[in-house]
Amino acid sequence: GQQLNQSPQSMFIQEGEDVSMNCTSSSIFNTWLWYKQEPGEGPVLLIALYKAGELTSNGRLTAQFGITRKDSFLNISASIPSDVGIYFCAERYNNNDMRFGAGTRLTVKP
Amino acid sequence: NAGVTQTPKFRILKIGQSMTLQCAQDMNHNYMYWYRQDPGMGLKLIYYSVGAGITDKGEVPNGYNVSRSTTEDFPLRLELAAPSQTSVYFCASRVNTEAFFGQGTRLTVV
């Protein structure tokens, strides 16, 4: 089946630093989704991408849909302690179900 | 609106016991999902439903059953609990691209 590979698995950064993480797939996607999960909560949608090359921002977060349609990255600028959590990429596998990568666990040190 | 409500929040089961994890949404979404999240891992899709009366298997359906008799409810049934089913279970509903998650049920099988 299709696989979503996220990297890095975890990141430990200092407050104020920028962060970059990415997701690659073995197949071409029509939609890339980025979710954030805070401790003890369910994931929440951050950004949705629909077209190859699309670059979308949500505050300090920026995500891009790769030209090959097999990858996407998420950047966080000027990190703050509340950015802590697990960031997941996701895709709609066959337009009905929805599958997630393994996540990038972000720790921000004040 | 309450969004997606999961009950119970925590449960300890003995091996071989059965239980039903409840999930209800009040947003009139057709799509609903059950995921499990093992420690330090991403979300694995168990079952999903595209509408009342229709369900389908995800990546890891073995040991689980679901039903969808109404748009609002999507219960997940464990018939013979095994230690491998110790996990956090998330229910979600979706409209268009965005999925909304419940707060999770933490299940321990001993």
A residues 16-55 closer than 8 Å to B (CB): 31, 33, 35, 40-45, 48, 50
Across the interface, of B43, B50, B94, the residue whose CB is closest to A100 is B43
pLDDT band per the 50, 70, 90 thresholds, residue B29: very high
Residue A15, pLDDT above cutoff 80: yes
Distance, in Å, from the CA atom of A37 to the CA atom of B103, rounded to the nearest integer, reads 10
Residue A2, pLDDT above cutoff 60: no
For B42, name the nearest residue in chain A, comparing CA atoms only.
A102
pLDDT given for residue A1 in this prediction: 53
Mean pLDDT value across residues B71-79: 97
Q: Which chain B residues are closer than 8 Å to A92 by Cβ? A: 97
A88 against B42, higher pLDDT: A88
Instruction: Name the residue type at position A41.
Output: E
Q: Is the CB of B38 inside 8 Å of chain A's CB atoms?
A: no
Cis peptide before B83 (omega within 30 of 0): no
Put simply, the answer to whether A43 touches B98 (Cβ < 8 Å) is no
pLDDT band per the 50, 70, 90 thresholds, residue B1: low
Q: Please state, rounded to an integer, the average pLDDT across all residues of chain B.
A: 94
Strand bridging mode B4-7 / B19-25: antiparallel
pLDDT band per the 50, 70, 90 thresholds, residue B106: very high
Backbone angles phi, psi at B84, to 5 degrees: -65, -10
Instruction: Tell me the CA distances in angstroms from B47 to A46, B23, B83, B103, one per residue in order.
Output: 24, 13, 20, 18
Question: For A49-80, what is each residue's pLDDT tens digit?
Answer: 999 999 999 999 999 999 999 999 999 999 99
The answer to whether A7 touches A103, Cβ cutoff 8 Å, is no
Across the interface, of A1, A96, A98, the residue whose CB is closest to B99 is A98
Q: Is the CB of A89 inside 8 Å of chain B's CB atoms?
A: no
CA distance B85 to chain A (A): 18
